[in-house]
Chain A
């Protein structure tokens, strides 16, 4: 076995690999760019080597620098993680030349499967069912249109070297093919340094299901069940689970065997994933093979009990797989949420900055339930504009799908992040979504269920009761404590009415509260007439200043995030985010007399939706614009965002120019 390995990656995956290496008694070497000087993976590693400036193309993507770092540190092998160099054939070749082991498949297998065009050819040869498409190289947009016409619409345009949704477009018409082809190609070039593209038929209402497999250098390959990753937003996976609610034993076996056949055909000898697109009728077509560890590998680890990284290291060192296919048994259900630095309330625009607060839920296993959080960040760390905006992967495992989802839901409620915007409210809302819970998924799920984007919802029913009760309990505790202040007048202690009115945004709930600071608090819901109905008993160790109220409500674990605002708190629970104010009856009556103020009208301004760099301002002062016209391009997180006019109008003033670095909500231009 290796004594020391280098991890040619950063963020959560570098930390993930190091955890296993450490468990195996292998020393670890991290590499880092200027932007990652204080990153968690650097902190975790036994040693760390600096490899250049922040842009990946000048650091994490430079093969020579990684090889040099191996030589300098004496690392015998390299784990590439995912992304970066993980699927570059040249990388293992260069390592081999330097006498260093690549913890991944052999270069030939990467060449055969890593390239999406080549892999389709190989799959067809291995009799794996494939989607109709064009496997040659495409010269230009006109060529792309011709091919798309032949296949029939809709089609999907993809970067050959791509992954993670970058350089990918769906086109429903000739015009869209022409447009999409150019922009995809530009994105592909920028992201992967490779602008080869391909086009294939787009399957309507599809599901994304993939088979995890692992092979050794002795010709053994087993599959480790499937993962379903149908919950995607703009082709970026958001939630993954294993197993898939769609598959039956028969389909699982058929898919697994086809995947293994394909892997065998190319002499595959590490962990890899064969992705399929599946119809609702359980038909499936080969999509591509990823010759690396996938982001979502933890869900497979949870249901199989296999440490995929450990096995990758072992097979790379020449060991045989310890099991046969018949040894692989799936146990329970696992769900993973990807926590991204993006603003769900502003069409998921990227958000960067300092993690002022970062409090993940407690990890651990008990009674067949597990919470696992794979992360590469820490409180006080920085989400930088240079790399992937993923903050963490929250994984839960339980005996059933419902149990895993419930646990995920509660873990998300307890996951507290401040300083940047993040998608936890969206994920938490998703966990409650009836269609998600029913398992009737497709890759269009998010676009179909959230056509107008994401917004908080008004609490009702059980959620209203829980939030009212928690708000009332917090207020009760605060009042009780304020009564303990010194310098009070002698005599009768201050009285506080037990009847309270909880105002959650526009919703009001009358309650009756009793109980002491230490003991449980009893909150009775009151109807209009003042008569009591449901009684909730709450017990918690929450104290003012704690970011999350965690405790039992009617003996069920509940977590509610608590952010102080003037005279109240903002509460977040199951994707609901609401200001909460608790009044006495008199206060509520007087508060009701207060005028409702309209928010300032910002429709005359084009605001910068995220911190970023202005690439271009397309209009000049005095220009007439039509709704939908491109006004400016702002680049953030390596993505170009085109800002369009929401309605017709005339540009009055332009405040920004190309090259400006803007903060979120900076005024780019004003309309007349």
Chain B
């Protein structure tokens, strides 16, 4: 007898007020939760090279999304996902700035995993985005880029959309374009 198969709950947009539920302190709703989940990725004892990753999500008219919510998931400095051994959760959540749209994560530079170049996994939700968008950010100076199994599926110009710009040795900028000539590669994971 075949097991009964259910369908995944259909997605709906996060809408303009996602901050109320996911980052209430940021939204000015104080005193309900101690802090906003994912606001702090690092502890004082974290191993690895500390970096800042920043950027903005842009719509098809070049306007910054000032109501987006960004989540990231990444390996620790040794390339391990989901280990808490190094005082690092690997998960971050940041609302876009409500006037500029900029977001920012203070994290550690991930190590390469067994299956490709080091990267940070992104998930973007906002008003107007009906199904949350997955993508990845890679590092520009990484010698493993050319052998990465995902990057090798993507042709030249589009591949560049997944590679951050180095602002300084510890600051990387990763702008995300929802549409247009520089539309970011989004993933079906």
A and B: interacting chains: no
